[in-house]
C-alpha cells in the first residue's frame, strides 16, 4: 500500500474535535421522489426562483446572502496568509462573529447577521481555535518558512502560488471554508429551515408576517434556498450572469456528471410553489428530495476530490484537495437524525481512511473512502468520473 505523502505526527487541533462533535444519527431508506409519487400540481411552477404576491416579490433571503458574503470576505482574509502575510486571530474571530456589524472593521459592508450564531453550536468554538492556530502558523509563513511533516508553513502548488498548512498538512483556508459551508449553511438548511418547526404542515401559512409580503412557511423555504447560494435562474449547464456561491458553485461543478443542479433547483422551486398554493403533499415530497439531493451533492464532492488526489503529483495540490475533501466530509454529519445515510460510527471509519495527518494518506485509504461513499449514496456508476 503506497503512502501518498509520508511520515507520522500527532492529531491536529481541529481534526478530532470536529469529528467528535458529530450529530446523533440513524440510517433510513431513500424517500419517495415526487416525480414518481403521482402528484400533478394544478398550479404553475416558475422556471426561476421568482414568486410574487399582489405584483410584488414575496421572496426574502437577505440574511443568507449576508452570511454568504461574510464567508467570502473571511476566506479572502485567510488567503492573505496563504500568500505569506501575517494574520491576526482576533480579526478573524471578529469577522466570524461580525463584531460591530462590520466584522470589526474588516468587512466591506455592514450587516446585523453573523456566521457564528448560526453555526452548529458544538462546532463554533472549534473555529475560534482554528483562527488562533492559523495566526500562529502565519508567523512562519510571513518569513517564508516551508511546511514539513510536523511543521506548519507554506507549500507551493503547481500554479506557483502557496498555501498555508498546519503541521499535519491541513490547509486552513479550505478547512474553514468547506467546514462552515457545512456547519452553517447546510446545517441551517437541514435542521432549521426544512424542519417541522419551520416548514411543517402545522406552521402558519395563511397570515402574512407583520410588515412583510410572505407567510412564515414561505419565508423558511426562501431562507433554505438562500443558503444554497444559487442565482434565481440557476440550472444544469448554467450559463447565466449570476454567480453561484458555495453549495451552488459545487453543484455546478458536479453537474456535468451528476445532473444535480436541475433536480435541486426544481425541488426548491416546486416546494415554494406548493407552499404558496397550500399544497402540503407536494411540499413534503419536495422537501424529501432536497434532503437526498443535497446529501448526495456532499458525497459527490468528496469522491471528486479523492479522485483528484489519486491523480495528482504536486504535493501542494494534494494537500489542497485533501483539505477540501476533509471539510466536505464534515458536512455529512449535519443532516437530520431521520435523514442521514451514515451513522457516527460509520463516519468515524470514513475519517479513519483519511487519518489525522495528511502526510500519511494512502492510495488504499482514499480508494476505500471513495468506494464506501459511492455505495452508500448510489454513486457507484459515476464514481470514477466525478
- What digits encode the pLDDT tens for the residues 217-269? 999 999 999 999 999 999 999 999 999 999 999 999 999 999 999 999 999 99
Asked if residue 292 has pLDDT above 80, the reply is yes
For 215, the grid coordinates are 407567510
Query: In which element (H, E) is residue 293 found?
Result: helix 280-311
Query: Could you tell me the CA-to-CA distances from 168 to 102, 180, 198 in Å, in that order?
Result: 33, 20, 41
Predicted local confidence at residue 35, as pLDDT: 55
40 confidence band (pLDDT: 50, 70, 90): confident
For 267, the grid coordinates are 425541488
Residue range 326-336: mean pLDDT, rounded:
95
Residue range 95-118: mean pLDDT, rounded:
98
> Where are the strands (E) in the chain, listed by range?
52-53, 56-57, 153-156, 162-165
For 4, the grid coordinates are 501518498
Q: Over the range 275-309, which residues count as b (16 or more CB within 10 Å of their CB) and which as e? A: bbbebbebbbbbbbbbbbbbbbbbbbbbbbbbbbb
Angle between helix axes 363-376 and 280-311 (nearest 10 degrees) is 160
Asked if residue 113 has pLDDT above 80, the reply is yes
CA distance 111 to 100: 9
Asked if residue 30 has pLDDT above 70, the reply is no
Asked if residue 163 has pLDDT above 70, the reply is yes
Higher pLDDT, 9 or 154: 154
Asked if residue 299 has pLDDT above 70, the reply is yes
**Helix (H) and strand (E) counts in the chain:** 14, 4
pLDDT more than 70, % of the chain: 90
Closest CA to 376 of 328, 336, 343, 337: 343
Residue range 295-321: mean pLDDT, rounded:
98
Least reliable range by pLDDT among 52-61, 193-202, 337-346, 366-375: 337-346
Predicted local confidence at residue 25, as pLDDT: 38
The CB density around residue 210, as the number of other CB atoms within 10 Å, is 5
Beta carbons within 8 Å of 231's beta carbon, 6+ residues apart: 238, 240, 241, 242, 243, 244, 248
CA 48 to the chain's CA centroid: 23
Residue range 10-37: mean pLDDT, rounded:
45
Predicted local confidence at residue 39, as pLDDT: 67
Predicted local confidence at residue 232, as pLDDT: 98
18 confidence band (pLDDT: 50, 70, 90): low
The CB density around residue 30, as the number of other CB atoms within 10 Å, is 13
Query: In which element (H, E) is residue 295 found?
Result: helix 280-311
Predicted local confidence at residue 2, as pLDDT: 38
The CB density around residue 376, as the number of other CB atoms within 10 Å, is 18
Asked if residue 378 has pLDDT above 60, the reply is yes
167 confidence band (pLDDT: 50, 70, 90): very high
For 363, the grid coordinates are 492510495
Residue range 138-161: mean pLDDT, rounded:
98
Predicted structure pTM score: 0.92
Predicted local confidence at residue 6, as pLDDT: 31
> What are the tens digits of pLDDT across the range 188-210?
999 999 999 999 999 999 999 99
CA distance 162 to 181: 23
Rounded mean pLDDT of the chain?
92
Domain boundaries, the chain: 15-382
Predicted local confidence at residue 4, as pLDDT: 41
Amino acid at each position: 500500500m503506497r503512502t501518498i505523502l509520508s511520515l507520522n505526527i500527532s492529531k491536529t487541533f481541529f481534526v478530532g474535535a470536529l469529528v467528535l462533535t458529530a450529530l446523533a444519527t440513524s440510517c433510513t431508506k431513500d424517500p419517495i421522489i415526487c416525480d414518481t409519487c403521482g402528484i400533478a400540481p394544478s398550479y404553475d411552477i416558475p422556471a426561476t426562483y421568482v414568486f410574487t404576491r399582489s405584483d410584488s416579490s414575496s421572496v426574502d433571503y437577505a440574511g443568507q446572502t449576508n452570511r454568504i458574503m461574510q464567508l467570502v470576505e473571511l476566506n479572502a482574509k485567510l488567503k492573505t496568509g496563504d500568500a505569506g502575510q501575517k494574520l491576526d486571530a482576533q480579526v478573524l474571530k471578529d469577522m466570524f462573529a461580525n463584531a460591530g456589524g462590520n466584522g470589526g472593521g474588516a468587512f466591506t459592508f455592514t450587516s446585523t447577521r453573523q456566521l457564528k450564531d448560526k453555526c452548529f453550536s458544538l462546532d463554533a468554538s472549534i473555529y475560534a481555535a482554528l483562527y488562533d492556530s492559523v495566526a500562529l502558523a502565519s508567523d512562519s509563513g510571513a518569513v517564508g518558512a516551508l511546511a514539513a511533516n510536523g511543521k506548519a508553513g507554506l507549500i507551493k502548488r503547481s500554479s506557483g502560488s502557496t498555501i498555508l498548512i498546519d503541521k499535519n498538512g491541513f490547509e486552513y483556508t479550505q478547512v474553514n471554508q468547506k467546514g462552515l459551508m457545512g456547519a452553517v449553511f447546510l446545517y441551517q438548511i437541514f435542521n432549521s429551515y426544512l424542519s417541522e418547526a419551520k416548514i411543517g404542515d402545522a406552521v402558519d401559512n395563511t397570515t402574512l408576517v407583520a410588515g412583510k409580503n410572505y407567510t412564515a412557511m414561505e419565508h423558511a423555504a426562501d431562507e433554505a434556498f438562500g443558503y444554497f447560494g444559487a442565482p434565481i435562474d440557476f440550472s444544469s449547464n448554467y450559463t447565466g450572469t449570476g454567480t453561484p456561491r458555495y453549495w451552488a458553485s459545487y453543484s455546478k461543478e458536479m453537474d456535468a456528471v451528476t445532473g444535480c443542479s436541475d433536480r435541486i433547483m426544481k425541488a426548491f422551486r416546486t416546494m415554494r410553489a406548493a407552499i404558496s398554493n397550500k399544497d402540503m403533499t407536494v411540499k413534503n415530497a419536495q422537501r424529501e428530495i432536497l434532503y437526498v439531493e443535497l446529501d448526495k451533492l456532499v458525497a459527490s464532492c468528496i469522491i471528486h476530490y479523492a479522485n483528484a488526489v489519486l491523480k495528482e503529483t504536486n504535493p501542494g495540490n494534494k494537500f489542497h484537495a485533501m483539505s477540501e475533501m476533509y471539510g466536505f466530509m464534515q458536512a455529512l454529519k449535519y443532516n437530520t437524525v431521520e435523514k442521514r445515510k451514515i451513522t457516527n460510527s460509520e463516519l468515524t471509519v470514513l475519517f479513519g481512511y483519511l487519518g489525522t495527518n495528511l502526510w500519511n494518506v494512502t492510495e488504499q485509504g482514499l480508494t476505500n473512502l471513495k468506494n464506501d461513499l459511492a455505495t452508500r449514496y448510489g454513486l457507484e456508476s459515476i464514481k470514477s468520473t466525478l
